[in-house]
A and B are shown apart, each in its own frame.
Chain A
Amino acid sequence: MISLHLIEQVIASSIYLTTPILLAGIGGLVNRQAGIVNIALEAKMLVGAFVAIVVSSATGGWFLAVISAGVAAAGVGYLFSLTITRANANMIVAGLGLNILVAGGLGFILSWNFGTSGTLRLPEIHLLPKILDDSVAAIPFVGTMLSGLDPLTLFAWATVAALPFLLANTRIGLHLRAAGNAPHVARGVGLREKLLQDMGTTFAGFYSGLAGAHLSLSSIGLFNEGITAGRGFIALAAFYFARNRPIGTAMVCLLFGFLDASQIRLQTAGLPPKLISTIPYLMVLIALCIAGWRKRERNELQ
């Protein structure tokens, strides 16, 4: 018997687990629209999660912690972008390299500066606040979700709502997409396509940093080397699956968040979590196959 309470719980944890994937996915899709496939979302999330914890503990303010996480990850993203746009580095290799470098660098700082390995606990962490009053919890179905809503979740969904307009109807959105789709043409009409691509990667860095901040500051209040647990790649899978469309990406992220949330319950139903964890990746593979197969059929018809 499925109780109301269970449904409420699943809705709440689905939304909560979607947020980091969604934030990173938003960054990644804008980045890809600007022509760069960002494999290093994972690294920037890790930077964000770490900075958020350190700043939150040092200053005692969640807002400053979140902004610092975003800015630090954006800085990493900008440097990463320079290696691709200015020094012609292959974006895939540079991205994989950055993932290794950042994991190594943070591990080094953790054991050298903080004397721990793997997990960092700091005193006086200020977690993300809840936006709404506790009284909303009485609303059926969405009550638990609403009472647990944090500012980053709201910000992520607000961005999703605004992004289609920003990308299709504003000057900067059109310029970014031009730099991604036809860099030579963009340059021909006087746009600085490399600068635009750098902006895209910096944007992706900022949003991944926020995603990391959500991971470390939303409930547990600590940093762990494995805190991202491949979520940067799940975000990659999401915007690949939705072919870079903001609303579609958000829906796929929501699906992945739901899978994550129901993992424990599916486990008791006999479905092993390790197999469930491969679903996002298999979905992308299947989607790419279908797209390729359709394209071939179209070509054969012509």
Chain B
Amino acid sequence: MPDTSSVKTGLPIQVVLEKSIGLAFPFIVAIVVSGIVLLIIGENPLDIYSLMLQEALGSGSRIAATLSAATPLLFTAVATSICFRSGVFNVGVDGAFVISGLAAATIGYGLPESVGFLILPVATLGAVVVGMSWLYVPGYLLARLQVDEVVSTLMLNFVAAGLSGFLVNAVFLSEKSGNNTTDTIPKIAEFNRLMPPSTLHSGFIIGLICLLVYAIWANRTPIGFEAKLVGLNQRFALATGISVPTTIIIVMVLSGLVSGLGGASHALGQLYKFSDGFSAGYGFTGMAVALLARNSAIGILLGAILFGALASAGTTIQLFSEIPLDLVNIIEGTVMIFAVVELGKITILRRRTST
């Protein structure tokens, strides 16, 4: 989706104001909507929100849980942003995440333990290659045959779910642990835990590095700039000598690379295996994060932590109060819809034209 907010002219303050309203607006709506839901069921929204805040960030272990929940979102949000800023509407990050997670887990437990510390990098590399190949397909189809990428990536998500579900049950099924899951990987292939007993693992650090590299790529390299130009105006990009098809394939493959890293991090750092239902919609939550952040690196970091906090607070809040965990989905869905609604922009633009 072409993001034109950064090329608007006007006073810097006005630009900053517009940007921050754009960032905050979907969240304000989501908080109001979920607040109304809470009022309807007779709870005090402020109490619940402060409880959630405490559960998400109240102590060291709670912060670790939040960051742990944010880890897959860092990868999926970066993977989504890489494509969105070039106007490539890739909704297939979830599928790439799943299929590369399967690759990482199977390589992780499949290699003989005598390979030692090399298992981890080999499994990660395998996942990355699988992720890149997976998204190369819709990239090629869009660039060369003009196959609508929304449909192709959406369809590929279901193919990934079906294929991985089949493989995990028919080929890679664990004999020890029963249905729908592979064997666990050996200890030496695990991403190490940063703050045990919390599940926060070094995949989070890799996610941060990924985000940093993305920021540099997007803002400081020619190819990143070209990719953005393709998103802003394809005909202009073409006129300046940028190959649009090549750029489309590059951003898709890069998106697959990051999805693959995410899948590897989740398989080798969080679950230590692949099981059916590997991704709890991380690709789609990552999309919400990317949209909210308008593809900016800082925004992605904040958004991923925010949604991580929602997820980790949501699970414990269900234990302490009677509020269903589904509240988190209500918030996420509302954020997603209102992240693309342009009410805020409309009012600002109107005000500007009238003065």
Contact = CB atoms under 8 A, between A and B. Distances in A.
Are A and B bound to each other?
yes
Interface of A: 37, 39, 83, 87-90, 92-94, 96-108, 110-112, 117, 230, 233, 236-237, 240, 272, 274-275, 277-278, 281-282, 284-285, 288-289, 291-293, 295-296
B152 A104 contact: no
B330 A104 contact: yes
B156 A285 contact: yes
Contacts of B336: 93-94, 96-97, 100-101
B337 A274 contact: no
B44 to A, nearest CB: 16
**B1, B327, B331, B336, most chain A CB atoms within 10 A:** B336
A288 B141 CA distance: 9
Contacts of A103: 326, 329, 333
Contacts of B330: 101, 104-105, 108
Given A101-B329, A285-B152, A289-B147, 11 more contacts: A94-B340, A97-B333, A99-B333, A100-B281, A101-B330, A103-B333, A104-B326, A107-B325, A230-B158, A274-B166, A285-B159
29 contacts: A83-B337, A88-B342, A89-B337, A93-B287, A93-B337, A97-B332, A98-B333, A100-B332, A101-B334, A104-B331, A104-B333, A105-B333, A107-B325, A107-B326, A108-B37, A108-B327, A233-B154, A274-B162, A274-B165, A278-B159, A278-B162, A278-B163, A281-B155, A285-B155, A288-B151, A295-B145, A295-B146, A296-B145, A296-B146
A292 B146 CA distance: 6
Contact of B324 (A93, A94, A107, A236): A107
B144 interface: yes
Contact of A98 (B281, B328, B337): B337
Contacts of B325: 107
Nearest to A237: B155
A101 B30 CA distance: 11
A135 B155 CA distance: 43
Contacts of B287: 93, 96
B340 A90 contact: yes
Contacts of A293: 145
Q: Which 9 A-B pairs have the closest CB atoms?
A: A104-B329, A101-B333, A292-B145, A97-B336, A278-B162, A107-B326, A100-B333, A274-B166, A97-B337
Given A93-B291, A96-B91, A292-B145, A39 B154 contact: yes
Contacts of B18: none
Contacts of B148: 288
Contacts of B328: 104
B165 A89 contact: no
Nearest to B40: A112
**A102, A108, A291, most chain B CB atoms within 10 A:** A108
Contacts of A105: 326, 329-330, 333
A67 B145 CA distance: 43
A237 B162 CA distance: 15
Contacts of A97: 288, 332-337, 339-340
Contacts of B166: 272, 274-275
Nearest to A100: B333
A87 B89 CA distance: 20
A111 B155 contact: no
A180 B331 CA distance: 32
A106 B324 CA distance: 11
Interface in B260-307: 281, 284, 287-288, 291
**A93, A96, A99, A105, most chain B CB atoms within 10 A:** A93
A274 B154 contact: no
Interface string B176-209: 0000000000000000000000000000000000
Given A99-B333, A103-B329, A274-B165, A88 B341 contact: yes
B150 interface: yes
Contact of B342 (A89, A292, A296): A89
B245 to A, nearest CB: 12
A10 B151 CA distance: 31
B115 interface: no
A282 B147 CA distance: 14
Contacts of B154: 39, 233, 236
Contacts of A292: 141, 144-147
A233 B158 contact: yes
A111 B317 CA distance: 14
A111 B326 contact: yes
B339 to A, nearest CB: 7
B201 to A, nearest CB: 27
